[in-house]
């Protein structure tokens, strides 16, 4: 493998700036959940269940708000939405630290709804700034930098909340969000490519892009983060039961490292891998982890295969959406993608927890892995139909006698962006016969990933 795809991608105008600013902007956002939890438990002296309700309210608000903010970006442009969400979220964190619990619960939902859309904005900008040939490494870099943000954010949040208090940590989050919003506003990355129609306020009908293929991508995205968040809980539960809780941080850090390495390697492949070929083995390989090993070193070793597929799965889903959705609806589509990521994270932990409480720690892995496999089976027909519809049959040339007869000029079809999972798309665009492996055989022999 060669580093050339990364070098060429980082040489593109504004890409490096977008990745750096987006990484820094995501750190306070990544810290928000743990700071909010610690505030309810230690600042308000309530239970973890009460903290979970506040987290759920914020998650629900964010899941609804992300596509709405994306829709506004599609119609108004980026800067007005950045002003709206930055001001709203700064006010939320400044006010929330002084609220009683009964008021914090509904305000958290509003704060989630108006959250700064740093994740989806970065992905929109990448889609606008990169040609299709460089989107895969660009989104791989985005996935890896997101992983770094989530490694740094919660750790910093816990450090500040436990040393200076949760209220001070919430004020620091307001400061961090302010810097993040101002940084993105100053950078003002494009959300439309130069060859795409500029933001004009015109709506792109949802029926033109909200189709089964897109829904299938969202379902796999949600299932992927469900497996990830459920695995987090299951790792801690297994090590706690065996008296090795002190190793949980190291095991989870190694798991994140496996994901980073997998994402890095995936960004160097020349052609994307079909979505289900990444997600299905990730889900399958998660199932036996807790059943086979309970020593921390063995657990870390068993997590390598599934962990290495995490970032590639998210990268592949983002890349597929960027190619599938028209530019005029990209903001809303990326917002829905972000919602799928969020909903999956919110569902994974309680699902694993339910299995752990009823059958034991090892079954947390089984529960989330099995749900992932079920989702893969449910979307398989849609994926196979999509791949079948994109194959262009070879044409038989007419006899020589017929070729001598004058024929009207052929109309050249407008080029269509190819999904990285559509093998043979380049040949189809060039008018050459396409020779591909059977889709069903490829999918059933083995996917998942923002």
Q: What is the pLDDT of residue 270?
A: 77
CA gyration radius, the chain: 23
d(CA 67, CA 344): 16
Instruction: Determine which of 16-30, 57-71, 106-120, 230-244 has the lowest per-residue pLDDT on average.
Output: 230-244
d(CA 86, CA 271): 38
pLDDT category at 415 given cuts 50, 70, 90 is: very low
- The pLDDT tens digits of the residues spanning 120-154 come to 999 999 999 998 888 889 999 998 898 888 888 88
Q: What is the pLDDT of residue 194?
A: 75
pLDDT category at 155 given cuts 50, 70, 90 is: confident
Would you say residue 302 has pLDDT above 60? yes
Would you say residue 394 has pLDDT above 80? no
Would you say residue 433 has pLDDT above 70? no
pLDDT category at 391 given cuts 50, 70, 90 is: low
Q: What is the mean pLDDT of residues 376-398?
A: 73
Both tokens of 98, joined, read 């002084």
Q: Is 1 helix (H, G, I), strand (E, B) or coil?
A: coil
pLDDT category at 1 given cuts 50, 70, 90 is: low
Q: What is the pLDDT of residue 336?
A: 93
What proportion of the chain, given as a percentage, has pLDDT over 70? 85
39 Cβ contact list (under 8 Å, min separation 6): 96, 97, 161, 166, 167, 169, 170
**Model pTM score:** 0.78
Say if CB 249 and CB 301 are below 8 A apart: no
Would you say residue 443 has pLDDT above 60? no
d(CA 109, CA 89): 11
Which single residue is written with the structure tokens 């004058």? 406
pLDDT category at 201 given cuts 50, 70, 90 is: low
pLDDT higher at 270 or 334: 334
Give phi and psi for 192, each to the nearest 5.
-130, 140
What's the CA angle centered on 291, arms 287 and 295, to 5 degrees? Answer: 120
- The pLDDT tens digits of the residues spanning 70-112 come to 999 988 889 999 999 999 999 999 999 999 999 999 999 999 9
pLDDT category at 222 given cuts 50, 70, 90 is: very high
Would you say residue 4 has pLDDT above 90? no
pLDDT category at 223 given cuts 50, 70, 90 is: very high
- The pLDDT tens digits of the residues spanning 324-383 come to 888 888 899 999 999 999 899 888 888 998 888 889 888 999 999 999 999 999 999 988
d(CA 67, CA 119): 12
pLDDT higher at 389 or 301: 301
Q: What is the dihedral of CA 176, 177, 179, 183, to 10 degrees?
A: 140
Say if CB 128 and CB 18 are below 8 A apart: no
């Amino acid at each position: 493998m060669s580093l050339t795809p990364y070098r060429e991608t980082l040489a593109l105008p504004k890409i490096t700036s977008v990745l750096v600013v987006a990484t820094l902007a995501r750190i306070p956002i990544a810290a928000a959940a743990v700071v909010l939890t610690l505030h309810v438990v230690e600042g308000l002296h309530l239970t973890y269940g009460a903290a979970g309700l506040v987290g759920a309210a914020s998650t629900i608000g964010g899941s609804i708000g992300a596509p709405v903010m994306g829709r506004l970006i599609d119609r108004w442009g980026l800067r007005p939405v950045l002003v709206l969400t930055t001001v709203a979220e700064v006010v939320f964190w400044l006010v929330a630290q002084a609220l009683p619990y009964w008021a914090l619960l509904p305000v958290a939902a509003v704060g989630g709804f108006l959250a700064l859309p740093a994740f989806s904005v970065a992905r929109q900008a990448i889609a606008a700034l990169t040609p299709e040939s460089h989107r895969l490494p660009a989104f791989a870099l985005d996935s890896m930098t997101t992983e770094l943000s989530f490694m740094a954010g919660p750790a910093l949040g816990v450090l500040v909340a436990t040393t200076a208090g949760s209220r001070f940590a919430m004020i620091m989050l307001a400061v961090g969000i302010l810097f993040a919003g101002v940084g993105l506003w100053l950078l003002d990355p494009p959300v439309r490519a130069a060859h795409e129609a500029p933001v004009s306020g015109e709506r792109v009908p949802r029926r033109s892009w909200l189709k089964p293929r897109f829904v299938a991508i969202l379902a796999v995205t949600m299932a992927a983060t469900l497996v990830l968040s459920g695995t987090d809980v299951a790792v801690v539960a297994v090590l706690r039961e065996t008296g090795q809780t002190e190793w949980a941080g190291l095991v989870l850090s190694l798991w994140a490292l496996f994901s980073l390495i997998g994402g890095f390697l995936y960004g160097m492949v020349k052609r994307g891998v079909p979505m289900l070929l990444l997600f299905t083995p990730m889900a399958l390989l998660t199932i036996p982890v807790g059943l086979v090993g309970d020593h921390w070193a063995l657990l870390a070793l068993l997590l390598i295969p599934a962990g290495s597929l995490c970032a590639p799965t998210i990268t592949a889903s983002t890349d597929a959406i960027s190619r599938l959705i028209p530019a005029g609806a990209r903001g809303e589509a990326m917002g829905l993608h972000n919602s799928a990521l969020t909903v999956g994270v919110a569902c994974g932990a309680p699902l694993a927890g339910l299995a752990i409480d009823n059958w034991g720690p090892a079954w947390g892995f089984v529960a989330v892995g099995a749900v992932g496999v079920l989702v893969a089976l449910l979307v398989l027909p849609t994926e196979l139909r999509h791949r079948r519809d994109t194959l262009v049959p070879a044409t038989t040339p007419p006899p020589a006698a017929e070729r001598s007869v004058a024929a009207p000029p052929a109309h050249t079809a407008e080029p269509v962006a190819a999904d990285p999972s559509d093998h043979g798309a380049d040949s189809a665009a060039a008018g050459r016969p396409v020779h591909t492996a059977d889709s069903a055989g490829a999918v059933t022999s083995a996917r998942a990933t923002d």
